[in-house]
C-alpha cells in the first residue's frame, strides 16, 4: 500500500491543535525542545488557561442587557475561543512532530483537556440563552455576524445544550472517552516502529541509493513501515513475496489493539448520535456538509462505481498482461501489491518514462523554489524565509528540518501570514502529509488583525551525504496539495476565526488543494519546478510527453481504492447500534468495491488514520474533486498561469473561506452551476 494520492489536511487535530509552550535556544540560536514540565497547575495541564477562558465566558453572561453589543456578546464568543486555542495550541501540535516522547504525550493530554473545554463550552446553558436572547433582540444582523449567529446557535444544539442535565453529563463523558480513544488510535499508528527484515535477495530490483536509506540489522535490511520507505519496494522490488509481505505489514500498522480501539469508538459514536437524536453518527456528521445526508453519499458512489469498474477492468487487463509477460506465466494472478510495480514497469516499457530517473529532476530545494515562484506569480504574493531570525528570537522551531516563511501581498506589502515546513520523516512524527493550523486569521477586539500561521508537515525522503532529497512526481503532487491548503488558510480575509481559510464544509475542504495539483502536469510549470540535481537541466520534453500519455493509466484502480475507503468509512458509521465487526465489514466492502481478490482477515482498518477526525467524511476526497476539477476547467480555458483568473479565484474562493456556503463559492467563481464533466475527464471516464 503506497501513500494515497489524495492526502488530508490534518483534521485529526483540527480544533485541538492547540501556542504558548516555552522554547529555549542554545548559543547557536537553534531551538530546542519545550520544557515538558513547564506547567503543573493542579486540576490539569491547562488549568490556568481554562480558568481564564471560563472567567471571560462568565463575564459575557453577566453583562447587563442594556450594555450588550455585537462585539461584547456575539463576537466575544469567537474571541474567547480564539484566545483559548492560542494559549495551548502549539503544545498540542507538538504531539505530532516532537522527537521527545514526553513532549508528545504532554501534547496529547493537552488535546484531551482542550477538547473537554470545548465540549463544556457548547453545553453552557447560560451562555446559550444569553446568545439566543441577544440574537432574537437583534434580528437584523448582516454578513459574517449573521452567519456566525446561525452557526453558533446550530453548534450549541449539535453539542447537546437542549438535553437534560443528566444527558448532558453523559454526553460529556462520551466525548471525553472518544477523545482519549482517538488519540490512542492515531498514536498507535504514528509510533508503530515495526520494521520488516529482508535479505539482499528479497530486495532485488530496489536501487542502491534507496537501499542506502534503509537501516541495517546485521546483514538484513530493516524496512520501516513509513510511506517514503516502503514505496520504493512497491515500485521496484522484483520479488513478489517481498511486496506482499510489506503490503500486509503496512496495512497492520497500529496492530490488533487498534481494531479493538476502533470498535470501541464506533460504539461510543453511535451512542452519542442516539443521545443527540440522530439515527447514526453518519447522519450527524453529514448534516452540516455539502452532501447533507449519508444517502446522498451512497447515491454519489452508486453513480460512480459502474463507471469506475469499466475503467478498472481496462486498467487491470493492462497491468495483468504486463505481469504475465514479465514472468512468462499466462496464468499469473494479479494482486493489489503488484499494482505499483507493474504500473512503474509499463511507464518504462510503454511510455519510455523511468520514474526513478524522473526523481533526479525534482530535488526538494528546486521543487520548493518552483512552488513559490508559480504561486507568487498566480496569486500576487511574496514569500520570505525568516528561519534564522525565528531561531534567534526563540520562536518555536522544533527540529533542525523546520523552516519558517512569511507571506506578503506583492502589491500592498501587507503581511498576510506565516507558514512552517517540516518535510522529512523521523521517529514518532505524524506519518503522512498534512497542514496543521496553528493560528487562524481573526479581527481582534482592538481592531487589529491576527495573521494566520500554519505548518506543512510531510514525510519526503531525507537527504543523504551523497544525494539531496529527491521527490517522485507523485510526491511533487502531494507537496502542491498541501501547499493548496496553506494558501487557503493564509489568503483568507474572514473576520471571524470560525470562518477563516480552510474552515469550510468538510466535504469541500480538499477542493482548493486538489485543484492546485493540476499545475504539476503543465510543461511551463514543470520547467520551473525541475532541475536535475547533478546537471541543473529541466525535465526533458519527451519525458513529459510520456508522463502525460500515461496520466490516466490505472486511474480506475486508484479511484476504486478511494471508493473502497470512503464506503468502508460510511459502512462503519451507518450502523445504528455501533456493534460492528470491522474486519468482516472491511472484507465485504472490499469485495463490493475493488476488482482485486480480498484477503480474508486483513485488518487494514486499524491503520486507517482518517477514522479519527475524518470519520464518516472520507467520501469528501472524491466529492470535493468534482468541484476542484470544475474550478480548474476555468484555468484550462483561460490559461493555467492567467493572473486575472487566479486573482479572481483568490478573491472569490480562497479569501472568503467559510463566510458563505461552499456551493456559492464555486458558483460565483464559475459563473454557473457546477457539474461533474471535468471530474469524469480527469479520471479518464468520459462517456
Is 41 one of the annotated active-site residues of the chain? no
State whether residue 420 is helix, strand or coil.
Answer: strand
Give the C-alpha separation, 460 to 457, whole Å: 10
Q: For 475-484, b where at least 16 C-beta lie within 10 A, e where not — what string?
A: bbbbbbbbbb
Asked if residue 259 lies in contact with residue 556, where contact means CB atoms within 8 angstroms, the answer is no
Q: Report CA Rg, the chain.
A: 25
Whose cell is 519546478? That residue is 529
Strand segments, DSSP code E, in 193-296 are 195-198, 216-217, 220-224
Q: Report how far residue 603's alpha carbon sits from residue 676's, in angstroms, rounded to the nearest whole number.
A: 34
Tell me whether strands 449-450 and 415-422 are parallel, antiparallel or unpaired: unpaired
Closest CA to 95 of 198, 180, 182, 190: 190
Q: Which positions ≥6 away from 659 have C-beta within 8 Å? A: 143, 144, 147, 494, 496, 499
Q: Helix (H, G, I), strand (E, B), or coil: what is residue 392? A: helix
53 vs 121: CA distance, rounded Å? 10
Question: Do 635 and 617 contact (CB within 8 A), yes or no?
Answer: no
Rounded Cα distance, 95 and 113, in Å: 14
Yes or no: say if 571 and 18 are a contact pair by the CB < 8 Å rule: no
Q: Are 29 and 391 in contact (CB under 8 A)?
A: yes
Number of helices (H), then strands (E), in the chain: 26, 10
What lies within 8 Å, CB to CB, of 327 at 6+ separation is: none
Give the separation between CA 265 and CA 174, rounded to whole angstroms: 10
- Per the CB < 8 A criterion, the answer to whether 153 and 131 are in contact is yes
Catalytic residue among 482, 510, 560, 682: 482
Instruction: Give the 3-state secondary structure of residue 283.
Output: helix
Q: Give the Cα separation of 323 and 339 in Å (integer).
A: 10
88 is written with which cell numbers?
Answer: 495551548
Catalytic residues: 482
Amino acid at each position: 500500500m503506497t501513500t494515497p494520492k489524495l492526502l488530508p489536511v490534518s483534521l485529526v487535530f483540527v480544533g485541538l491543535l492547540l501556542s504558548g509552550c516555552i522554547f529555549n535556544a542554545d548559543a547557536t540560536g537553534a531551538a530546542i525542545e519545550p520544557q515538558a514540565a513547564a506547567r503543573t497547575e493542579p486540576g490539569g495541564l491547562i488549568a490556568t488557561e481554562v480558568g481564564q477562558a471560563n472567567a471571560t465566558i462568565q463575564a459575557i453572561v453577566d453583562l447587563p442587557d442594556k450594555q450588550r453589543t455585537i462585539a461584547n456578546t456575539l463576537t466575544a464568543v469567537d474571541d474567547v475561543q480564539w484566545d483559548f486555542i492560542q494559549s495551548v495550541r502549539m503544545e498540542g501540535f507538538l504531539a505530532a512532530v516532537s522527537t521527545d516522547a514526553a513532549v508528545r504525550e504532554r501534547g496529547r493530554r493537552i488535546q484531551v483537556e482542550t477538547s473537554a473545554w470545548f465540549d463544556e463550552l457548547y453545553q453552557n446553558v447560560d451562555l446559550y440563552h444569553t446568545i439566543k436572547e441577544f440574537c432574537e433582540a437583534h434580528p437584523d444582523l448582516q454578513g459574517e455576524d449573521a452567519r456566525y449567529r446561525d452557526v453558533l446557535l446550530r453548534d450549541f444544539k449539535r453539542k447537546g445544550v437542549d438535553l437534560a442535565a443528566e444527558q448532558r453529563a453523559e454526553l460529556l463523558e462520551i466525548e471525553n472517552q472518544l477523545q482519549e480513544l482517538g488519540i490512542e488510535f492515531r498514536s498507535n499508528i504514528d509510533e508503530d516502529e515495526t520494521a520488516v527484515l529482508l535479505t539482499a535477495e528479497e530486495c532485488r530490483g530496489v536501487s542502491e541509493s534507496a537501499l542506502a536509506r534503509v537501516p541495517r540489522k546485521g546483514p538484513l535490511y530493516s524496512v520501516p513501515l513509513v510511506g517514503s520507505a516502503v514505496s520504493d519496494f512497491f515500485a521496484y522490488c522484483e520479488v513478489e513475496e517481498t511486496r506482499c509481505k510489506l503490503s500486509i505489514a503496512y496495512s497492520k500498522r497500529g496492530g490488533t489493539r487498534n481494531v479493538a480501539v476502533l470498535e470501541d469508538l464506533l460504539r461510543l459514536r453511535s451512542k452519542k448520535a442516539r443521545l443527540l437524536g440522530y439515527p447514526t453518527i453518519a447522519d450527524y456528521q453529514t448534516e452540516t456538509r455539502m452532501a447533507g445526508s449519508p444517502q446522498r453519499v451512497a447515491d454519489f458512489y452508486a453513480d460512480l462505481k459502474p463507471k469506475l469498474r469499466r475503467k478498472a477492468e481496462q486498467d487491470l487487463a493492462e497491468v495483468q498482461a504486463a505481469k504475465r509477460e514479465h514472468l512468462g506465466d499466462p496464468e499469473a494472478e494479479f494482486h493489489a501489491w503488484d499494482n505499483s510495480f507493474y504500473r512503474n514497469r509499463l511507464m518504462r516499457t510503454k511510455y519510455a518514462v523511468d520514474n526513478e530517473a524522473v526523481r533526479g529532476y525534482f530535488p526538494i530545494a528546486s521543487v520548493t523554489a518552483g512552488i513559490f515562484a508559480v504561486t507568487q506569480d498566480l496569486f500576487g504574493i511574496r514569500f520570505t524565509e525568516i528561519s534564522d531570525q525565528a531561531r534567534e528570537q526563540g520562536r518555536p522551531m522544533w527540529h533542525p528540518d523546520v523552516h519558517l516563511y512569511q507571506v506578503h501581498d506583492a502589491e500592498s506589502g501587507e503581511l498576510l501570514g506565516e507558514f512552517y515546513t517540516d518535510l522529512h520523516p523521523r521517529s514518532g512524527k505524524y506519518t503522512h502529509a498534512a497542514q496543521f493550523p496553528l493560528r487562524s486569521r481573526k479581527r481582534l477586539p482592538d481592531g487589529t488583525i491576527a495573521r494566520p500561521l500554519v505548518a506543512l508537515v510531510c514525510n519526503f525522503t531525507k537527504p543523504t551525504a551523497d544525494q539531496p532529497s529527491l521527490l517522485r512526481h507523485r510526491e511533487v503532487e502531494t507537496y502542491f496539495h498541501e501547499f493548496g491548503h496553506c494558501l487557503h488558510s493564509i489568503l483568507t480575509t474572514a473576520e471571524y476565526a470560525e470562518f477563516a481559510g480552510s474552515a469550510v464544509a468538510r466535504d469541500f475542504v480538499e477542493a482548493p488543494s486538489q485543484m492546485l495539483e493540476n499545475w504539476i502536469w503543465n510543461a511551463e510549470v514543470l520547467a520551473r519546478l525541475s532541475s536535475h540535481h547533478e546537471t541543473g537541466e529541466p525535465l526533458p520534453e519527451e519525458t513529459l510527453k510520456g508522463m502525460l500519455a500515461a496520466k490516466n493509466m490505472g486511474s480506475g484502480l486508484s479511484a476504486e481504492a478511494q471508493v473502497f475507503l470512503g464506503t468502508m468509512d460510511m459502512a462503519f458509521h451507518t450502523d445504528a447500534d455501533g456493534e460492528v465487526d470491522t474486519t468482516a465489514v472491511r472484507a465485504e466492502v472490499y469485495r463490493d468495491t475493488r476488482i482485486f481478490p480480498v484477503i480474508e482477515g486483513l485488518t487494514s482498518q486499524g491503520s486507517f488514520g482518517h477514522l479519527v477526525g475524518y470519520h464518516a467524511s472520507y467520501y469528501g476526497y472524491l466529492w470535493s474533486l468534482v468541484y476542484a476539477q470544475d474550478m480548474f476547467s476555468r484555468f484550462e480555458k483561460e490559461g493555467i498561469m492567467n493572473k486575472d483568473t487566479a486573482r479572481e479565484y483568490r478573491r472569490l474562493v480562497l479569501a472568503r473561506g467559510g463566510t458563505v456556503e461552499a456551493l456559492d463559492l464555486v458558483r460565483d467563481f464559475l459563473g454557473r452551476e457546477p457539474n461533474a464533466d471535468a471530474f469524469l475527464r480527469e479520471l479518464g471516464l468520459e462517456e
